[in-house]
């Protein structure tokens, strides 16, 4: 038992001085600058110098967006880090298929949906009523998580 106390005391003496040298200077952290590269649908693409702890929203204030820029997929509250790359996406015109009103042919235009599953979708909504959420589509036999994740970007209620 005495040996154990001796070893613990020795370890504390060895580690404690190292802990003291790890003090953090808040001023040094807050005064740092970061560089973020911006690409995509912006008129002034390039590298921007920002204060540390800047967000995507802070960066967007400095950008001139192209007419077809789409900010909807961006979480503007994300804190940027040094050497991050931000790609501003382009708006895409995708016609969404309504799972509540689509015809057999329209449902079959979805990737991985053949006539059998399209028929089941129509039968399901005829039997159970309109889908209340797009996730309810997974209640149809033959549509599991994998198939659903492949088509969810192309469907709506």
Three-class DSSP category at 35: strand
pTM of the shown model: 0.48
The strand pairing partners of 103, in sequence order, are: none
Find tokens 């040298």 and name the residue: 21
Mean pLDDT by 10 residues, the chain (157 residues): 67 59 60 90 94 93 92 88 90 84 92 93 89 90 91 88
Residue 94's pLDDT is 77
Cα dihedral angle (40, 41, 45, 51), rounded to 10 degrees?
A: -90
**Domains of the chain: residue spans and CATH:** 27-88 (3.10.20), 97-156 (1.10.150.320)
E strands, 1-157, where?
A: 33-40, 46-51, 84-88, 97-98, 155-156
Q: Which of 132, 124, 134 is nearest to 154 (CA)?
A: 134
pLDDT on residue 10: 64
């Amino acid at each position: 038992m005495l040996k154990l106390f001796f070893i613990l005391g020795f370890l504390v003496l060895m580690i404690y001085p190292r802990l003291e040298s790890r003090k953090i200077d808040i001023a040094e952290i807050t005064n740092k600058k970061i560089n973020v590269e911006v690409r995509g649908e912006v008129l002034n693409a390039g590298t921007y110098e920002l204060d540390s702890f800047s967000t995507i929203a802070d960066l967007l204030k400095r950008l001139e967006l192209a007419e077809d820029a789409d900010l909807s997929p961006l979480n503007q509250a994300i804190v940027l880090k040094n050497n991050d790359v931000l790609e501003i996406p382009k708006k895409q015109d995708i016609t969404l298929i309504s799972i509540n009103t689509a015809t057999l042919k329209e449902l079959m235009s979805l990737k991985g949906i053949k006539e059998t599953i399209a028929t089941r979708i129509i039968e399901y909504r005829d039997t159970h009523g309109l889908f209340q959420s797009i996730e309810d589509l997974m209640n149809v036999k033959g549509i599991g998580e994998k198939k659903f994740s492949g088509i969810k970007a192309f469907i709506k209620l």
